[in-house]
Amino acid sequence: MGTDWLPYTFTMNWQFTRPGIVRFEKGEPFCLIMPIQQHVLEDVQPEILSLESNPELTAQYREWREQRDLFRVNSNAGDPQARKEVWQKFYFRGELPSGEQTQQTHVQKRRLSVPLDRRTNGHQVSLAATEATPPAMKAFSPRLAGAFGTAR
């Protein structure tokens, strides 16, 4: 939703997929707002290609698939190393299945600027530090717990 020109608030609507009661606890994150520059997505022309049209990518995929299948077999068989590893973390580490680092810039975590709270004469105030840590973030990662503001 473009909000760069809005002089008013906007609504967020939810579509629930099953009947029942939905409750958002106080302080629990309920949405993610992603600021992106206007018209960036419109300037992208997506393409659909066959995986086989790129032999190098096809080989990398097959190598990953073989490693993944073996990892799952070992994990299901109770292999201690596979169970300790839990998941292979190729993406997390920015690695190709061969162990080689990707040539692309890989970002695990965005480190965004803290918003300037202009209500306090432009001094930078951490909104997260002034509010209670959402319970879901405490469970997710104690290190990240203070990095998220909550809805008022």
The answer to whether residue 34 is domain-embedded is no
- Measuring CA to CA, how many Å separate 9 from each of 2, 6, 120, 122? 12, 7, 21, 22
Classify residue 129 by its DSSP letter.
Answer: G
Predicted structure pTM score: 0.52
According to the model, what pLDDT value does residue 124 have? Answer: 55
CB 128 within 8 A of CB 148: yes
C-beta of residue 88 within 8 angstroms of C-beta of residue 94:
no
Location of structure tokens 């020109």: 5
Instruction: Classify residue 102: in a domain, yes or no.
Output: yes
pLDDT at 19 over 80: yes
Distance CA 139, CA 144 (A): 10
For the ranges 25-34, 65-74, 94-103, 126-135, the maximum mean pLDDT occurs at: 65-74
Residue 129, domain extent: 110-146
Of the chain, the percentage scoring pLDDT greater than 90 comes to 19
Give the model confidence (pLDDT) of 108-145 as tens digits: 787 878 878 888 665 555 555 444 444 444 443 333 33
Sign of torsion, CA 127 128 134 140? Answer: positive
The count of structural domains within the chain is: 2
**pLDDT score, position 135:** 44
Does one domain contain both 102 and 127? Answer: no
* Rg, Å, the chain Cα set: 22
Instruction: Compute CA distances 23 → 26, 28, 87, 152, whole Å.
Output: 9, 10, 31, 15
Cα–Cα distance measured from residue 27 to residue 132, given in angstroms and rounded to the nearest whole number: 7
In a domain, 29, yes or no: no
